[in-house]
A and B are shown apart, each in its own frame.
Chain A
Amino acid sequence: MAVLELPDWMALAPALILAGTALVLFLIDSIEPHSTNRTLLSGTAVAGSLSSLAVAVWFTVAGVGATGIENYGVIDIMDGQFVVDQLALYFMIIIAVVTALVTVASYDYLQDHTYQAEYYSLVVLAATGMSMMAASNSLVTIFIALELTSLPSYALVAILKDNRGSVEAGLKYFLIGALSSAIFVYGVSLVYGATGSLQLTRIAAVLESGDGAVAEMGGLLGLGILMLIGGIAFKTASVPFHFWAPEAYEGAPAPISAFLSSASKAAGFVLAFRVFTTAFPLEATTGIIGIDWTLAFAILAIVTMTLGNFAAATQENVKRMLAYSSIGHAGYVLIGLAALSADGGDLVMGAAMMHLLVYGFMNTGAFLFVGLAEYWGVGRTFEDYNGLAERAPFACGAMAVFMFSLAGVPPFSGFWSKYLLYTELINAAADNTALLVLAAALVINSALSLYYYSRLVKALWIEEPLLDRDRLAQPTGLYAAIIAAAVMTIVLLPAFGPVADAALEAAAAVVA
């Protein structure tokens, strides 16, 4: 690595900066326990996540991890336990962005809260785990990063200790999380049994060697892969481990819902992309276990997006509607894995990654608006939101941007990422016509989603308020985060070309 001749391990800097920030927050807490100095705590967390973002962007621009003559190549750390390539840096950027938005918004949300330092350090620790997950290249480091993400998240969901909803959400999230991580680690043990290795590239080498001993263990390997998919489905909130999501998102503090539904989901997907493209090469794995694993993802994608969208359409509670919509979007991104068997599958995966970046802005923004509504204390259902635009036109305008972008209405960036996904999928379908079913499901579900997203916009802008409201407060942090997310949702549009290229290149490099 030649960026100013830094040592190799410095390539993990975006994750290491987050870890350092968490430790600084612990230090502040130990010097001044129960500190309620919101500016200091929130400022430290925001500074940490922004510098992690800056370093990740710098590395990407400088060409760290990119393949090519003038670039620095993919960096292996600790004998291939970690790998820093364009895919890793791309997801580190998404995670740092969401963390920054969430920590800015928490400044107001946590007013009068007792455990502020703990809250911020847990958020930053979970972000560290997600960032490490993007760079993990061995089932050992993946599992450790997964737990580093999950354990703070459980505590964060339940952090409103006297609020029954928050505690119940934390309990349900923890129970399902513990179950799915047990299933995941059992899957890891079976894959290890079949291949004798835990490092992803070595697993692939064993599978491709056509060793007779591995072929005999096809059943164990297949079961192991199925269990790994289970663990990933939990992190990404897709079927069959999706049912924690509506509960956890509804009960958790809104900034935490935003954090889990955007950053945690992105981290789950980078795990899926990394494990399945690196460790289980399609042809060799299909030869051993007898089934093409993309089929499993195709089924999960269709079921997930349909279930998410239909359930979202029936909700009365706004936060719950957003939770189901987040399940629906997990279904769209799963298409990226389902299409890998066809020619041009790497482009579909790149488009799915693009969608995750856009989703990081628009979904975080939408949940933060719900956080703003909770801050105002206006209630939770669609009716309670009626006519808010009269009192807070800026925030409601931003919310309309998020909603239309989530639904995929042009000209917002949510439309372009979905459009890119759709066109690449149609191109890939030339090679494998079964993919047309996925394309059809994507279009039908997007059309359905427009119904419930526009219902919220209608409530905000058109309906008459149920009761007269006084002037609503304008908390600085929440407003800043929401406006920043809205601006990015729109600004990504002119910048779409280069960002999309970065995503497509990152995907192509991993698949090749």
Chain B
Amino acid sequence: MTVDVQYYVLLSMAVFCIGLFGVLTRRNALLFLMSVELMLNAANINLIAFAFYHGNLTGQLFALFTMALAAAEVAVGLGIILVLYRNFRDVDVTVPTTMRW
């Protein structure tokens, strides 16, 4: 039994929206990072489902690239959060306000 592609799209959109909600509401930088990961993985679900739907491997291959890039992004992000903690003694993204918005 195969599942129709639109259910995968619904799933990925749900995951994407959960991630977006997290980005908009969380104040902890680490939770923010996790929410962004959710959004990236939503795209991966789409890519793999559509690769199956279209019958080519382009999407699956791109999903691999996305995962690698997401890992690189987290590495840089954690580095920045680390220096943030050293300077401000907190990982709350609303604390650093030396510059006005």
A-side residues, CB < 8 A to B, are 139-140, 143-144, 147, 150-151, 154-155, 158, 161-162, 164-165, 167-172, 174-175, 178-179, 181-183, 185-186, 188-190, 192-193, 196-198, 220, 243, 246-247, 250-251
Give B16's nearest chain A residue, CB to CB. A186
CB distance from B20 to the nearest CB of A (A): 8
B39 contacts A182, C-beta separation under 8 Å: yes
- Alpha-carbon separation in the docked complex, A164 to B58 (Å): 43
B67 to chain A, nearest CB (A): 11
Given A155-B76, A169-B99, A186-B39, are A196 and B50 also a contact pair (CB < 8 Å)?
Answer: yes
Known: A167-B84, A186-B43. A154 touches B76 (CB 8 A): yes
Closest to A139 in B: B62
Minimal beta-carbon separation of A491 from chain B (angstroms): 36
A196–B55 alpha-carbon span in the complex (Å): 9
Inter-chain pairs besides A165-B98, A186-B46, 4 sampled, C-beta below 8 Å: A168-B96, A171-B93, A190-B46, A192-B47
- In contact, A186 and B96 (Cβ under 8 angstroms): no
Cβ-neighbour of B33 out of A158, A169, A178, A193 (below 8 A): A178
| B-side interface mostly | helix
- Which of B44, B46, B54, B81: most chain A Cβ within 10 A? B46
Roughly how many angstroms separate A379 CA and B39 CA in the complex, as a whole number?
A: 41
Whether A192 contacts B50 by the Cβ 8 Å rule is yes
A residues less than 8 Å from B93 (CB atoms): 171, 175
A430–B73 Cα gap in the complex (Å)?
A: 47
Counting from the closest, the 8 A-B pairs by CB-CB distance are A189-B46, A182-B39, A196-B54, A168-B96, A193-B50, A189-B43, A186-B43, A185-B43
Interface residues of B (CB under 8 A from A): 5, 9, 12, 16, 19, 23, 29, 32-33, 36, 39-40, 42-44, 46-47, 49-50, 53-54, 56, 58-59, 61-62, 65-66, 69, 72-73, 76-77, 79-81, 83-84, 86-88, 93, 96-99, 101
Contact: B36 with A182, CB < 8 Å?
yes
Instruction: Tell me how far the C-beta of A122 lies from the nearest C-beta in chain B, rounded to whole angstroms.
Output: 10
| Closest partner residue, chain B, to A243 (CB atom) | B101
Check A171/B59 contact, CB under 8 A, given A182-B36, A196-B50.
Answer: no
Given A178-B73, A198-B58: A140 touches B53 (CB 8 Å cut-off): no
Q: Cβ of B69 and Cβ of A147 under 8 Å apart? A: yes
- On whether the beta carbons of B98 and A182 are closer than 8 Å, the reply is no
Q: Write the chain A residue with the least CB distance to B61.
A: A140
- Max chain A Cβ within 10 angstroms of own Cβ: one of B33, B97, B98: B98
How near does chain A come to B52, taking the closest CB pair, in angstroms?
A: 11
- A150 CA / B80 CA spacing, docked (Å): 14
| Sample (24) of A-B pairs whose CB atoms are under 8 Å apart | A140-B58, A154-B76, A165-B98, A168-B84, A168-B97, A170-B83, A171-B84, A171-B93, A174-B76, A174-B80, A179-B23, A182-B39, A183-B39, A186-B16, A189-B12, A189-B59, A192-B58, A193-B9, A193-B49, A193-B50, A197-B56, A198-B58, A243-B101, A246-B99
